[in-house]
Every structure is written in C-alpha cells, then in structure tokens.
Amino acid sequence: MSGSLIRVLIVDDSVVIRRLIKEILDADPRIEVVGVAHNGQVAIGKVEELKPDAVTMDIEMPVMNGVDAVRALRKTHPRLPIVMFSTLTERGASATMDALAAGASDYVTKPANVGSVMESRKNISEQLVPKLVALTGARKVVGVARAPMPPPQPPAGQSRASGTTRRTQPFGLLAIGSSTGGPDALATVLSALPGELPVPVVITQHMPPVFTKMLAQRLNSTCKLSISEAAEGDSVERGKVLIAPGGLHMELKTRGTGVFVHLSDAPPENFCRPAVDVMFRSVAAVYRNRVLAVVLTGMGKDGALGAGVIRAAGGEVFAQDEATSVVWGMPGATVMAGQADRVLPLEQMAGTVTSALSANQGAGQSGSTRQANGPVPGGVRA
C-alpha cells in the first residue's frame, strides 16, 4: 500500500452513484479516491494504471459487467480487495453470489432510493468504509510481528495440560459462524464434508434477507449434504444443514427429545442479525459438551464470546487461520481470547472436522439416531 491512505478506484455506470461514493470516501481521512470507471473494461485498464489498494465494483454495467471484470482482474491481481455493489433483490443476490464465486472479496447493498441522499450516504458509509478498512488493513501489517497467541483456556472442570482432550462422548452438532469471505469459505468446507455426516449442522453467515436463501440454494447444488435456509420450527437432524435467514437470529430449542429452530428478531448483537454469538450460546445450552464449533473468516468479533460459552460447557472450537482468511477478525478475536482449540488453514478444516465428528460415534449409543444426535438431557427446553 502506497503511503498511509487507502487508495480506492470506484467502478459504476451511474454518475449519481459514482459521485455519492466519492463524496463519502473523500470525507474519510483514511481513504483517497484515485479514479473512477464507468464499466468493467475501463476498470481493468485503470487498475493497471493507478494501482489502487481496493476497488468498489458495480455488477450490472455495459460493455463488461462487474462479474466478468472480477474474473479478469483475479488473473493478474489475485489479492486486490474488490467490494461489489448489489441490489436487495433475488437477481442482485444471484449476481452477487456469482461475483463472490469469481473472487470478489465482499459486497455492500446499493441504495434503493438514490433520491434520499441522507439515507444513501448513511447506507454506504456504514457498510463500505469499514469493509475497505478491514480488507486493506491486513496488508498494512504484513511483516509486523504479532504478540504470541494465548493458549486455549480449559473448559470448566477439564484439564488441557497436554494441549488436547480425550473425548469420551461423540459430538452431537456442528455449528459454523462466518462473515466477510464466508460464502467461499463455506463452499470449500461444506463441499468436502461427506453426505453421511453423523451430526446436524447449523450456520450463521452475516448476510441480508434474500442473500441467505440464495447462498443456501447455491451450496445445496454443489455439496453432498442437504442445505437450506432455516425456517421457524425446522427440525434439526443429522446430515441436514440449516443456514440462519438474513435479518433474524437463529436459536435451537428442544421439544421432547427433538431439537428445532426458533427464529428471533431480537436486537442485533455485534451490530449483526443474525449473530453468531446468539447461535453459539443457544447450541451450548442444548448440546452442552457435544458441540463442535467453527469460526471462519469475517470482520469484527462476533462468535468470540459465544465460543467461550461453548468451551465452558465442554465443547470445542476450531478457528480459521490468518493466512487463509479474507479478514482475520472473527477467527482472530476467538484465537486471541484463548477460545480456539485448534487454528487451521481453510483447506484442512473439512478433513479435521470430519475426523473429529467421526470419533466416538459408537460411544454411549443404543442405536437410535435421535439418541446419537439429540440434545444432552437437561438442556434448555421450549
């Protein structure tokens, strides 16, 4: 990164949107707008000429759209942060998924009403500026020594003097939290998991409504597991993956010997709804020491406190490492809090998770699927 400013190229075919983004970014002392482009083809040339630290990219543009521009840029600039601008529609969500699959770093939702200047400015400022800072911030500290990571703290009543714990009970649930870079990370992990997974899977990915449904559909089409967006009252069953819907927290409740989904519009936590912390607390209450949690790439620290709750109950937490994270915010916060049992590169996560879930699956079971995957007796009930 040249100098101390984050140098940004704005790519959008709308003069109004280009001007709006530029005014907002120019107002931030950490950011310098070094150029604009009105389509993807022009953007490719501008990237070579201006060498920006980050790019904001519209999706629908003449000559070359944003998805094709991302594909082209990734061939020559594999690590350049690219933030897409999307609309809150099914078409916009689908195109955004295409862009993320092509290598885009993240996305923000484009203002639906550009006539409301104040609302548009607030929308872009709150979404875009933190993402540009987070996505480029990792590059600023390359080569700077980090403080040693604290060792994981032992859950209540357990000793981890050797760094590992021999489990006598099988895991009963896999819970995953992710944000920035999450869709690609989830695709990498879930596609490598076996179709006959012995436990249910619940996921909270920071995304707005419509986007989570599209994400579930995409993942379901490429993975062996059954993946869907969660709905109120959905049963939690082995081999079934449920993704929290955008705009709602996902919790697990028990009814009799079964487990089901409860969705809530309670206030956001960590500025997020759905929030990983909400889900992690809930699964710890129901499954106690039988939770295996995974914290993948993402901005902020959502999941770190919940990871502590899971480990206090006797569960375990794996975190994605810094080198393979788009943003080492969420997993980094979990690690630095001493709440990660293992820190793994993304490509090793699925194999390690599969081995952990397969261990001790015959222990303490009577052959019943419900017993093998149900809640721990005494967990929270509806």
Residues involved in catalysis: 179, 206, 302
Q: Cα separation of 174 and 25, whole Å?
A: 40
Q: Cα separation of 278 and 37, whole Å?
A: 41
Give the count of alpha carbons within 13 A of 247, CB side only: 7
Task: Strands of 77-215 (E only): list them.
Answer: 82-86, 106-109, 173-178, 201-205
Residues β-bridged to residue 31 = 6
Q: Is 243 left (phi over 0), alpha (psi -120 to 50) or beta?
A: beta
For 71, counting Cβ atoms within 10 Å of its Cβ (0-12 exposed, 13-18 middle, 19+ buried), the class is middle
Q: Cα separation of 380 and 11, whole Å?
A: 50
Give the count of alpha carbons within 13 A of 186, CB side only: 33
Q: Cα separation of 318 and 312, whole Å?
A: 15
| Tokens standing for residue 257 | 């010997």
Residue 161, amino acid: A
Backbone angles phi and psi of 180, in degrees to 5:
-60, 125
Positive or negative, the Cα torsion across 310, 298, 220, 361?
negative
Kindly give, in sequence order, each residue whose CB lies less than 8 Å from that of residue 45, ignoring residues fewer than 6 positions away.
37
Backbone angles phi and psi of 281, in degrees to 5:
-60, -40
Residues β-bridged to residue 316 = 292
Task: Strands of the chain (E only): list them.
Answer: 6-11, 31-37, 54-58, 82-86, 106-109, 173-178, 201-205, 226-229, 240-243, 249-255, 258-264, 291-295, 316-320, 342-344
